[in-house]
Structure 1
Amino acid sequence: MRAEHLSAFEAVARLGTFTRAAEEQFIAQPSLSRQIRTLEAELGAALFRRGRRGAELTEAGRVLLPIARRMLADAEAARAELDELAGLRRGRVRLGAPPTVCVSLVADVLAVFHDRYPGVDLQVSEAGSLALVDQLTAGELDLAVIVTRDGAPRIDGAELLPLLQERLVVASSARKPAPAGADGAAGLTLARLADLPQVAFHRSYDLRAATDAAFAFAGLAPEVAVEGAEMDAVLRFVERGIGVAVVPAMVVLDRPGLRSIPLAEPVLERTLNLARRPGAPLSTAAAAMQQLVFERVGRMEVSGVVSLAR
C-alpha cells in the first residue's frame, strides 16, 4: 500500500466527500478517485459507498481506517526525525507559556527561532502554569515556561530548569503624568498602589493571584477600575489612562505608550522555569528551542532587564 493512496483514503474518510478530499490533497478529483480504486483493487474490497450524504465507509473501510492512520503517522514521524537530523529543515516544536510570557520572552524567542529554522512548525499553547503542566504531562507539549514564586518548587510530572527572576512593576500611561506618590527610582509602595484605579487581570492569571495575595497579606483593598481583562486588553486600557496595572518588567519593554514604575514595600518577583517531561528525550527541534531560550535569557541578563535564576 502506497502512502499517497492511504493519505487519499484517510482524507475521504475524514472529510466525507471526494471533492473536498481532492482539494485538501491538491490533486484533481479523477486522480484521487483512481488512487482509491487502486487501493481497493489491491485489498480486494470496496472501501466506500457513495450516497446522498457523500462517501460512507464500508465495513472494510472502517477496519482499514485506524490502520491507515497509524501507518501515516509512523511515516510522518520517520520523515520528521530524518529531516531534523539533516539540519532542522523540517520538524515541530510545541511550546506553552502564560500570556504574560508570550508577549515578552516567547515572542522574542519564536522570532529568532523562525529566522534560524523556517521549515520547523511552531505550535504555541497560551495558558496558566497549572494547565500547561497538565498539557506537558499528557504529551501535548514539548516544553513549557512555568511561573513559580518563592524559588522553584518541585512539580509532579515536570522537570523544572530555572530560567530567570523578574520583578513585577506598575505600568501606567506614558501620556499622563506619573501617579502621585511615585518616589523616583524607589517607586510606589503597595499601600499607595491600592489607592490608584487599577486594571485587573482575569482571575485565572497567575499574576492576578500573586497581586491579590500581596494585597490581602497587607490588609489592603485595591481600587479596581476594570476587572477580568486579558493581557492585550490590560495593556491597551493602561495606555489609554483608564488605570494602572501590575505587570512583569519585560512586558513594558519596547512599549512607548507605557511607563514602568518600580513596586516597593514589598518587592514582588516571580521565577520563570523551563519545564519538560522527566526522562523524555527531546526531539532535535525541541532541543534547539531549549538552547535558544537559555541563550535569549542570557542576553537579557547582560542588558540588566532580568537576573538569572540560580
Structure 2
Amino acid sequence: MELQQLRYVVAVAETRNFTRAAERCRVVQSALSHQIAGLERELGARLFERTSRRVRLTTAGEAFLPAARECLEAADRARAEVAAVAGEIRGRLAVGAIPTVAAVDLPVALRDYRRRHPRVHITLTSAGSDDLIERVRRGEVDVAFLGLPPRAEPKGVRGRRLGGGELVAVVAPDYPRAEEETDLRSLADEPFIDFRAGAAGRVQSDEAFAAAGVRREVPFEVSSAELMVDLVRQGLGVGMLPAAYAPRFADLRVIRLRDAPTRVEHLIWDSRPSPAATAFLDLLAAGGAPGPAGRHLTPDDSPADRPDSTK
C-alpha cells in the first residue's frame, strides 16, 4: 500500500469521478484506475461502485476512507515537522472563523502569514462557533476564531479569550424611530432577524432579552451576517451585530443598547498544533495581526504562552 494510492482513493471519493480525480492528481486516468485496482486486489475488497452514471464508495470504501485520510495527514505532518527543524514552514494551515469576527483583522493576518510562509497552503472556513469547535476537535481546522456568550468556554480544545464586546441593534435607513440609544424592552415588539435558535451567535441575545424580562419575536432565522444585513436593509426587522462589526455596513442605522447583549471572541487551536499552525499563533503573538481600528494584538492577547482552556 502506497501513499499515492491513498491520494487517488481520496480524490475519487471527493470528486465522485475518475476523470476529475485524475485531473486533480495530475495523472492520466488509466494510471489512477490501475493504482486503485491494485489497491483493491491487495485489500481483497472493492472500494468503489462504478456505473456509467456515477461512482460511489462501497461499504468497504466508506470504512477505508477515514483511515486513508489520517495516513495522508500524518505523512504531511511528518514532512512539515522535518522541514520546521530546518527552519522552513510548510504544509497546510486550515483556519476557521465566525462571519462576524472583529477582534482580529483576519484578511490582514492571512496576508502577512502568506508573505512570511509562502509554502504553506492556507484554507479558510466560515461557520458558526459550535461547528468550528467540533472541526478543531476532529483536526479538520487548525485554528479558529469564535464568538461565545460571556460565561461559555470552548471544550476539548486549547484556547484564549481575545476580548469582549457589546452587540448593537441595526435597522434600515428609513427606520421610523429616531433614537440612537434605547433598551431591549423598547425593541421587544419589533420583529427580529437573528441566527438560528441555539446557535452561539444567537444565545447572547436570547439571554439578554430573558434577563430584561421581555420576549421578542424572531420570524427570520439566518445562517450568515450578510443575509441578516440584506433583510434588515429591506426593513423586515431588527438585526443584532457586534458593535465592532456593524460599522462595515455604513448604510444601516445603529442603535446602541443600554442593556446590550455581550459576547467574547476566542482563538482556539488543537492540543498539538502543527508547525504551520504554531507559526500562525506566533504571528498573532508578535502583533502581526491588527484588531479593530488598527489596534494590534499584544502578547497578552495571544495564546502562545497561555495554558489551555480544556475545562
TM-score by length of structure 2 reads: 0.68
Q: What residue in structure 1 maps to residue 265 of structure 2?
A: 272
Which of 285, 290, 299 is the matching residue for 2:276? 285
Q: What residue in structure 2 maps to residue 218 of structure 1?
A: 212
- Which residue identity lines up with residue 169 of structure 1 in the other structure? V
Aligned-pair RMSD on alpha carbons? 4.7
| 2:199 pairs with 1:205 | yes
Structure 1 residue 213 displacement after superposition: 1.9
- Which residue identity lines up with residue 292 of structure 2 in the other structure? M
Q: What residue in structure 2 maps to residue 228 of structure 1?
A: 221
Q: Structure 1 residues 113-122 or 95-104, which shifts more?
A: 95-104
> In structure 2, what is the Cα distance between the partners aligned to 1:235 and 1:203?
18
Q: What residue in structure 1 maps to residue 157 of structure 2?
A: 158
- Number of aligned residue pairs: give it: 288
Q: What residue in structure 2 maps to residue 128 of structure 1?
A: 129
Structure 1 residue 117 displacement after superposition: 3.8
Find the residue that maps to 1:192 and give its secondary structure.
Answer: helix
* Contact 1:172/1:178, CA 8 A, preserved across alignment: no
Structure 1 residue 196 displacement after superposition: 3.6
> In structure 2, what is the Cα distance between the partners aligned to 1:198 and 1:44?
59
> In structure 2, what is the Cα distance between the partners aligned to 1:254 and 1:17?
42
5+ residue gaps in structure 2?
56-63, 303-311
Change (3 A) 1:241 1:140: same
> How is 1:1-310 mapped onto 2 (pairs within 5 angstroms)?
22-29=22-29, 53=51, 72-83=72-83, 90-101=90-101, 105-107=105-107, 109-118=109-118, 119-124=120-125, 126-129=127-130, 131-150=131-150, 155-173=154-172, 175-176=173-174, 179-182=177-180, 187-222=181-216, 224=218, 226-230=219-223, 231-264=225-258, 266-277=259-270, 280-293=271-284, 295=287, 299-300=291-292, 303=295
Find the residue that maps to 1:253 and give its secondary structure.
Answer: helix
1:252-275 Cα offsets, whole Å, 9 max, x none, are 2332222333211x1332211212
> In structure 1, what is the Cα distance between the partners aligned to 2:276 and 2:248?
29
Structure 1 residue 15 displacement after superposition: 8.0
Find the residue that maps to 1:275 and give its secondary structure.
Answer: strand
Structure 1 residue 234 displacement after superposition: 0.5
1:201-249 Cα offsets, whole Å, 9 max, x none, are 221432322212222222223355x421222210111123322211112
- Which residue identity lines up with residue 222 of structure 2 in the other structure? A
Find the residue that maps to 2:248 and give its secondary structure.
Answer: coil
* Contact 1:201/1:228, CA 8 A, preserved across alignment: yes
> In structure 1, what is the Cα distance between the partners aligned to 2:66 and 2:28?
25
TM-score by length of structure 1 reads: 0.68
Find the residue that maps to 2:140 and give its secondary structure.
Answer: coil
Runs of 4+ more than 6 Å apart: 9-18, 33-37, 43-48, 64-71
* Contact 1:172/1:243, CA 8 A, preserved across alignment: yes
* Contact 2:94/2:142, CA 8 A, preserved across alignment: yes
Change (3 A) 1:71 1:137: closer
Change (3 A) 1:109 1:218: same
Q: What residue in structure 1 maps to residue 58 of structure 2?
A: none
1:140-196 Cα offsets, whole Å, 9 max, x none, are 332233334446x655423331111112111123x32673332xxxx2222222244
> In structure 2, what is the Cα distance between the partners aligned to 1:221 and 1:246?
15
> In structure 1, what is the Cα distance between the partners aligned to 2:192 and 2:16?
52
> In structure 1, what is the Cα distance between the partners aligned to 2:98 and 2:70?
33
Structure 1 residue 11 displacement after superposition: 6.3
5+ residue gaps in structure 1?
56-63
Identical positions, percent: 29
Q: Structure 1 residues 28-37 or 142-151, which shifts more?
A: 28-37
